[in-house]
Structure 1
Amino acid sequence: MKDLFSDNSSLYQQARPSYSAEIIEQIMLHVAENALAWDCGAGSGQFTGWLAPYFQQVLATDLSAAQLAQAPKLENVIYQAASAEESGLDDHSVDLVTVAQAIHWFDFDAFYAEVKRVLKPQGCLAVIGYGLIEASDLRLDQLIQHLYKVTLKGYWDAERRYVDECYQSIPFPFEEQSVPALQLKYSWTGQQLLDYFQTWSGLKHYVQLTGLNPLAEMAEFLQQQPQQCYEVQFPVLLRIGQ
């Protein structure tokens, strides 16, 4: 499992999308008991907070202690630095395992072996993610597409393709449940958009290798109307297995 997000963890926590009630409600339709959930690759707790009201206890793990330090402090949540392949949980002790926007970095075989070890017989795995941001403003959407597909081409880690393929190409050795199409929708300022793009791993690689600012054209466009909010959305990637 790679750790690409320890640097500037506070920006990641602030700028990344949250999730939604619709996502957790869909997942909970398939959960038999609510004693313990394991949120793996929890980062700064974007999805952990959605789990906490539904479970007696939540274990949130991540390779990055710096990321976990940014997560919300919740009474029934334990944060622990651990790999996806070695949770430290007891055999058949977990009702739900979740992975939000992280599974594409995992060693699939090793992680799934750990999931099958810790899940109860009626336990459930939910893999959650979101695809490329889309904007209703045509010019902004063109700039996003150009940034992602042209400027940063060749700077993304190979694992990013699993997101581009909507998680449909990841192995998924579980009895899969049907889920509806969902989206995350936001109204973001130009600064929120720029902060979000700064968290992209491909953008970080580009800056490190070239020393150039790939957001210059985007920033120039957004600064024309600094108070404007832009309607954006992310397609939700959701696979649920038992």
Structure 2
Amino acid sequence: MAGLFDNQAAIYVDARPRYPSEWFSMLAALTPQHSVAWDAGTGNGQAAIGAAEHYKKVIATDISEEQLKHAIPHPQVHYLHTPSMMSDDELVHLLGGENSVDLITVASAVHWFDLEKFYPIVKRVLRKPGGIFVHALECYKTLPFPFESVGVGCEGQPLELDMEKKMSFEGLLKFFRSCSAFNTAKRQGVDLLSGEVVEELESAWGGAELVRTAIYKTYMLAGKVKL
């Protein structure tokens, strides 16, 4: 899936909303230790820099080198390229070994993951007891989540949250252009934001100069390894 996001990597970091700091404060309160966090499928690092406010070291991984080139710099965040051919043992070693990670986060990238391959790695590296694994974004009501609930949603019943972002009309267009559906259609010769569509959107928005507050409906699941 790396190539799918390479062409839009440069605008991704500006177009996407930042995760609220209080989300990370809530999650940090659930882990007894705050040494290492792993943000899997980090993209440009929006979740990684939030975790870095509470954890001494954040390992932020992605299969897309182009996304990582545009990652948000932070002294506590270590961005690492993890190509799809990397073995499970290599990845576990890269993350510090088994039982070494206090918090694992995955944002909207989780729907691209091979969960049968990913979940066993989570269970290997997550600190036991006390380590927490978290998904955010997307409607995760049907996502398999074989982890013990920590009070932040459970399998089939994610916690519903709102995420706000002030944006101009141009910001809205950037958000659409950062989506995988837009890039996929473009590769197939279909322009989802043709001149006619943009004009209709601008009229519905209320004009190109108007700044609105967009509310993203988000869903979160957090859990720990069942002992």
Q: TM-score range by the shorter chain?
A: 0.7 to 0.9
Does 2:34 align with 1:34? Answer: yes
CA–CA distance in structure 2, aligned partners of residues 232 and 76 of structure 1: 30
**Residue in structure 2 matched with residue 52 of structure 1 by the alignment:** 52
Work out which of the residue numbers 113, 116, 120 in structure 1 matches 2:120: 113
* 2-structure distance, mates of 1:209, 1:62: 25
- 1:237 aligns with 219
CA RMSD of aligned residues (A): 1.8
Residues 129-144 of structure 1: matches in 2 within 5 Å?
129=137
Q: Secondary structure at the match of 2:46?
A: coil
2:53 match: secondary structure: helix
Map of 1:173 onto structure 2: 146
In structure 2, do the counterparts of structure 1 residues 190 and 34 end up closer, same or farther at CA, with 3 Å as the change threshold? Answer: same
Contact 1:61–1:83 (Cα < 8 Å) also in 2: no
- Residue 214 of structure 1: how far off its partner (Å): 3.5
In structure 2, give the amino acid aligned to 1:196. Answer: F
How far apart are the structure 1 equivalents of 2:196 and 2:47? 32
Letter in 2 for 1:172: F
Segment drifting more, 22-31 vs 88-97: 22-31
Question: How far apart are the structure 1 equivalents of 2:121 and 2:195?
Answer: 44
Matched residue SS, 1:53: coil
Distance in 2, matches of 1:186 and 1:213, equals 23
Report what 2:173 is aligned to.
Answer: 194
Q: CA deviation at 1:170?
A: 1.2
Aligned partner of 2:100 among 69, 81, 93: 93
Contact 1:207/1:214 (CA < 8 Å) preserved in 2?
Answer: no
1:100 & 1:38 partners in 2: Cα distance?
12
User: Please, which moves more after superposition, 25-34 or 82-91?
Assistant: 82-91
How far 1:211 sits from its partner (Å)?
Answer: 3.7
Q: Name the TM-score, length of structure 1 as normaliser.
A: 0.79
State the shift of 1:181 in Å. 3.0
Q: 1:61 offset after TM fit, Å?
A: 0.5
The secondary structure found in structure 2 opposite 1:47 is helix
Do the aligned partners of 1:186 and 1:233 also contact (CA within 8 Å) in 2? yes
TM-score (norm 2): 0.84
Q: Number of aligned pairs?
A: 206
Q: Contact 1:62–1:68 at 8 Å: present in 2 too?
A: yes
Whether 2:163 is the aligned partner of 1:184: answer: yes
CA distance in structure 2 between the aligned counterparts of 1:54 and 1:31, rounded to whole angstroms: 10
Paired position in structure 2 for 1:157: none
In the alignment, the residues of structure 2 paired with residue 216 and residue 66 of structure 1 have an alpha-carbon distance, to the nearest angstrom, of 28
Task: Please identify, of 20-29 and 117-126, the stretch whose mean Cα deviation from structure 2 is larger.
Answer: 20-29
How far the C-alpha of 1:218 sits from its partner, in A, is: 4.1
Q: Distance in 1 between matches of 2:126 and 2:101?
A: 5
Report if the CA contact (8 A) 1:19-1:46 is conserved: yes
Q: Which residues in structure 2 correspond to 1:211-222 (within 5 Å)?
A: 211-222=190-201
Q: Which runs of 5+ in 2 are unaligned?
A: 153-158
Structure 1 counterpart of 2:148, which letter? E
Q: Distance in 1 between matches of 2:73 and 2:10?
A: 15
Tell me the secondary structure at the aligned position of residue 39 of structure 1: strand
Pairwise CA distance, 1:198: 0.5
* One-letter amino acid of the structure 2 residue matched with residue 200 of structure 1: C
Deviations 1:66-119 (A, max 9, x none): 111111221121110015853522111111111111111101011110011101
